[in-house]
Amino acid sequence: DAGVTQSPTHLIKTRGQHVTLRCSPISGHKSVSWYQQVLGQGPQFIFQYYEKEERGRGNFPDRFSARQFPNYSSELNVNALLLGDSALYLCASSLTTPGTPNTEAFFGQGTRLTVV
Amino acid sequence: AQSVTQLDSHVSVSEGTPVLLRCNYSSSYSPSLFWYVQHPNKGLQLLLKYTSAATLVKGINGFEAEFKKSETSFHLTKPSAHMSDAAEYFCVVTDSGTYKYIFGTGTRLKVLA
Protein backbone atom coordinates (compact mmCIF):
# COMPACT_ATOMS: atom_id res chain seq x y z
CA ASP A 1 0.00 0.00 0.00
CA ALA A 2 1.18 3.50 -0.79
CA GLY A 3 1.72 5.77 2.14
CA VAL A 4 0.97 9.46 2.27
CA THR A 5 2.39 11.14 -0.81
CA GLN A 6 3.25 14.81 -1.07
CA SER A 7 4.34 16.85 -4.04
CA PRO A 8 6.58 18.50 -4.85
CA THR A 9 9.36 17.35 -2.52
CA HIS A 10 11.28 20.59 -2.81
CA LEU A 11 10.63 23.99 -4.29
CA ILE A 12 12.06 27.47 -4.25
CA LYS A 13 9.85 30.53 -4.51
CA THR A 14 10.41 34.28 -4.43
CA ARG A 15 8.87 36.58 -1.84
CA GLY A 16 5.38 37.66 -2.84
CA GLN A 17 4.70 34.61 -4.97
CA HIS A 18 2.01 32.01 -4.45
CA VAL A 19 2.55 28.27 -3.84
CA THR A 20 0.35 25.18 -3.93
CA LEU A 21 1.35 22.02 -2.11
CA ARG A 22 -0.41 18.70 -2.67
CA CYS A 23 -1.12 15.66 -0.57
CA SER A 24 -2.65 12.28 -1.29
CA PRO A 25 -3.73 10.37 1.83
CA ILE A 26 -3.56 6.66 2.42
CA SER A 27 -6.36 4.87 0.61
CA GLY A 28 -9.46 4.79 2.83
CA HIS A 29 -8.35 7.69 5.03
CA LYS A 30 -10.80 10.57 5.10
CA SER A 31 -8.88 13.00 7.28
CA VAL A 32 -5.99 15.17 6.13
CA SER A 33 -4.06 17.59 8.31
CA TRP A 34 -1.32 20.07 7.44
CA TYR A 35 1.61 21.05 9.65
CA GLN A 36 4.46 23.53 9.27
CA GLN A 37 7.87 22.56 10.64
CA VAL A 38 10.38 25.36 10.84
CA LEU A 39 14.01 24.28 11.14
CA GLY A 40 14.82 23.24 14.69
CA GLN A 41 11.22 23.23 15.92
CA GLY A 42 8.36 20.79 16.25
CA PRO A 43 5.56 20.76 13.66
CA GLN A 44 2.82 23.36 14.13
CA PHE A 45 -0.79 22.67 13.20
CA ILE A 46 -2.19 24.59 10.22
CA PHE A 47 -5.43 22.89 9.07
CA GLN A 48 -7.45 19.74 9.50
CA TYR A 49 -10.01 18.47 6.98
CA TYR A 50 -12.41 15.58 7.39
CA GLU A 51 -14.90 14.50 4.76
CA LYS A 52 -14.02 17.59 2.70
CA GLU A 53 -14.93 20.02 5.47
CA GLU A 54 -12.51 22.17 7.44
CA ARG A 55 -12.66 20.96 11.04
CA GLY A 56 -9.83 22.96 12.51
CA ARG A 57 -7.48 25.85 11.81
CA GLY A 58 -4.30 26.78 13.59
CA ASN A 59 -2.91 30.20 14.36
CA PHE A 60 -1.81 31.08 10.82
CA PRO A 61 -2.65 34.17 8.75
CA ASP A 62 -5.32 34.23 6.06
CA ARG A 63 -2.58 33.91 3.44
CA PHE A 64 -2.78 30.20 4.22
CA SER A 65 -5.74 28.27 2.85
CA ALA A 66 -6.52 24.67 2.04
CA ARG A 67 -9.15 22.41 0.62
CA GLN A 68 -9.96 18.73 0.38
CA PHE A 69 -11.28 17.13 -2.78
CA PRO A 70 -13.91 14.38 -3.26
CA ASN A 71 -11.13 11.78 -3.51
CA TYR A 72 -9.83 13.06 -0.11
CA SER A 73 -6.62 14.49 -1.54
CA SER A 74 -5.77 17.97 -0.36
CA GLU A 75 -4.04 21.18 -1.36
CA LEU A 76 -2.40 23.78 0.84
CA ASN A 77 -2.12 27.24 -0.69
CA VAL A 78 0.03 30.06 0.56
CA ASN A 79 -0.25 33.56 -0.95
CA ALA A 80 2.14 36.49 -0.76
CA LEU A 81 5.03 34.37 0.45
CA LEU A 82 7.32 35.71 3.14
CA LEU A 83 10.85 34.61 4.00
CA GLY A 84 9.44 33.25 7.26
CA ASP A 85 7.26 30.79 5.35
CA SER A 86 10.37 28.76 4.55
CA ALA A 87 9.78 25.41 6.24
CA LEU A 88 9.00 21.74 5.81
CA TYR A 89 5.27 21.32 5.22
CA LEU A 90 3.94 17.99 6.40
CA CYS A 91 0.69 16.31 5.49
CA ALA A 92 -0.85 13.74 7.82
CA SER A 93 -3.58 11.28 6.96
CA SER A 94 -5.80 9.35 9.36
CA LEU A 95 -8.97 7.30 9.23
CA THR A 96 -10.87 9.74 11.39
CA THR A 97 -10.14 13.05 13.06
CA PRO A 98 -7.11 13.21 15.36
CA GLY A 99 -8.29 12.97 18.93
CA THR A 100 -10.67 10.12 18.16
CA PRO A 101 -9.53 7.30 20.45
CA ASN A 102 -7.10 4.87 18.82
CA THR A 103 -6.63 7.10 15.80
CA GLU A 104 -3.08 7.60 14.66
CA ALA A 105 -1.76 9.89 11.97
CA PHE A 106 0.55 8.84 9.18
CA PHE A 107 2.84 11.53 7.84
CA GLY A 108 4.19 12.11 4.38
CA GLN A 109 7.83 12.96 3.63
CA GLY A 110 6.99 16.62 3.43
CA THR A 111 7.54 19.46 1.00
CA ARG A 112 10.60 21.59 1.68
CA LEU A 113 9.69 25.18 0.74
CA THR A 114 12.41 27.79 0.49
CA VAL A 115 11.41 31.42 0.02
CA VAL A 116 14.14 33.72 -1.26
CA ALA B 1 -5.06 23.67 27.22
CA GLN B 2 -2.86 20.93 25.88
CA SER B 3 0.91 21.25 25.87
CA VAL B 4 3.98 19.08 25.68
CA THR B 5 7.41 19.71 27.18
CA GLN B 6 10.40 17.71 26.07
CA LEU B 7 12.91 18.24 28.81
CA ASP B 8 16.09 17.73 26.77
CA SER B 9 16.81 19.27 23.40
CA HIS B 10 19.86 17.02 22.89
CA VAL B 11 20.77 13.62 24.33
CA SER B 12 24.01 11.73 23.64
CA VAL B 13 24.51 8.06 24.51
CA SER B 14 27.07 5.43 23.64
CA GLU B 15 26.04 2.55 21.44
CA GLY B 16 24.72 -0.32 23.56
CA THR B 17 23.75 1.87 26.53
CA PRO B 18 20.18 2.76 27.61
CA VAL B 19 18.22 5.63 26.11
CA LEU B 20 15.87 7.90 28.09
CA LEU B 21 14.01 10.74 26.37
CA ARG B 22 11.79 12.72 28.72
CA CYS B 23 8.35 14.14 28.03
CA ASN B 24 5.82 15.88 30.26
CA TYR B 25 2.36 16.81 29.08
CA SER B 26 -0.57 18.94 30.07
CA SER B 27 -4.06 17.87 29.09
CA SER B 28 -7.55 18.76 30.24
CA TYR B 29 -9.25 15.48 29.50
CA SER B 30 -8.19 11.99 28.56
CA PRO B 31 -5.10 12.30 26.44
CA SER B 32 -3.71 10.19 23.67
CA LEU B 33 0.07 10.31 23.61
CA PHE B 34 2.51 9.41 20.86
CA TRP B 35 6.19 9.32 20.13
CA TYR B 36 7.32 9.97 16.56
CA VAL B 37 10.82 9.73 15.12
CA GLN B 38 12.21 11.84 12.27
CA HIS B 39 15.37 10.84 10.50
CA PRO B 40 17.24 13.53 8.52
CA ASN B 41 15.30 14.69 5.46
CA LYS B 42 12.52 12.23 6.21
CA GLY B 43 8.92 12.48 7.36
CA LEU B 44 7.64 11.40 10.76
CA GLN B 45 7.34 7.75 11.71
CA LEU B 46 5.17 6.55 14.59
CA LEU B 47 7.17 4.73 17.27
CA LEU B 48 4.35 4.03 19.72
CA LYS B 49 1.07 5.33 21.09
CA TYR B 50 -0.83 5.39 24.38
CA THR B 51 -4.62 5.49 24.20
CA SER B 52 -5.81 4.59 27.75
CA ALA B 53 -5.11 0.87 27.58
CA ALA B 54 -1.95 -0.49 29.23
CA THR B 55 0.23 2.19 30.80
CA LEU B 56 3.42 0.53 29.55
CA VAL B 57 3.45 0.78 25.78
CA LYS B 58 5.77 -1.16 23.50
CA GLY B 59 6.68 0.23 20.13
CA ILE B 60 8.85 -0.54 17.17
CA ASN B 61 12.63 -1.06 17.21
CA GLY B 62 12.69 -1.95 20.91
CA PHE B 63 11.34 1.35 22.23
CA GLU B 64 8.94 1.57 25.17
CA ALA B 65 7.13 4.35 27.00
CA GLU B 66 5.32 4.45 30.32
CA PHE B 67 2.28 6.66 30.91
CA LYS B 68 2.33 8.07 34.46
CA LYS B 69 -0.76 10.14 35.11
CA SER B 70 0.35 11.26 38.58
CA GLU B 71 3.56 12.69 37.11
CA THR B 72 1.98 13.75 33.77
CA SER B 73 4.89 12.05 32.05
CA PHE B 74 5.37 9.81 29.05
CA HIS B 75 9.10 9.10 28.87
CA LEU B 76 10.58 7.06 26.02
CA THR B 77 13.16 4.36 26.77
CA LYS B 78 15.23 1.74 25.01
CA PRO B 79 17.52 -0.73 26.79
CA SER B 80 20.34 -0.59 24.26
CA ALA B 81 20.98 2.17 21.73
CA HIS B 82 21.92 1.40 18.14
CA MET B 83 23.64 3.73 15.72
CA SER B 84 20.51 3.74 13.56
CA ASP B 85 18.54 5.30 16.46
CA ALA B 86 20.25 8.65 15.88
CA ALA B 87 17.39 10.98 14.90
CA GLU B 88 14.97 13.63 16.18
CA TYR B 89 12.22 12.39 18.49
CA PHE B 90 8.91 14.16 19.09
CA CYS B 91 6.45 13.64 21.91
CA VAL B 92 2.87 14.41 20.83
CA VAL B 93 -0.41 14.83 22.73
CA THR B 94 -4.00 15.05 21.60
CA ASP B 95 -7.29 15.05 23.49
CA SER B 96 -10.50 13.24 22.78
CA GLY B 97 -12.75 15.46 20.70
CA THR B 98 -9.96 17.67 19.39
CA TYR B 99 -8.67 17.82 15.85
CA LYS B 100 -4.98 18.46 16.13
CA TYR B 101 -1.76 17.07 17.47
CA ILE B 102 0.39 19.18 19.78
CA PHE B 103 4.08 18.49 19.26
CA GLY B 104 6.95 19.01 21.63
CA THR B 105 10.04 20.87 20.46
CA GLY B 106 11.90 17.63 19.84
CA THR B 107 14.92 15.82 21.29
CA ARG B 108 17.89 15.13 19.05
CA LEU B 109 19.43 11.78 19.94
CA LYS B 110 23.09 11.23 19.13
CA VAL B 111 24.56 7.75 19.39
CA LEU B 112 28.32 7.53 19.85
CA ALA B 113 30.33 4.57 18.60
Q: Could you tell me if B20 and B75 are in contact, meaning their C-beta atoms sit under 8 angstroms apart? A: yes
- Encode pLDDT of B92-101 as tens digits: 998 767 778 9
Q: Is the model more confident about A39 or about A46?
A: A46
At A1, is the pLDDT very low, low, confident or very high (cuts 50, 70, 90)? low
CB contact (8 A) between residue B99 and residue A98: yes
- Encode pLDDT of B14-45 as tens digits: 999 999 999 999 987 778 899 999 998 788 99
Secondary structure (H, E, C), chain B: CCEEEECCCEEEEECCCCEEECEEEECCCCEEEEEEEECCCCCEEEEEEECCCCCEEECHHHCEEEEECCCCEEEEEECCCCHHHCEEEEEEEEECCCCCCEECCCEEEEEEC
Min Cα separation B41/chain A (Å): 8
CB contact (8 A) between residue A58 and residue B45: no
Domain count, chain A: 1
Predicted pLDDT of residue B53: 72
Where exactly are the structural domains of chain B?
3-112
- Encode pLDDT of A42-61 as tens digits: 999 999 999 999 999 999 99
Structural domain harbouring A42 = 5-115
CATH superfamily name and code, B3-112: Immunoglobulins (2.60.40.10)
**Residue A68's CATH number:** 2.60.40.10
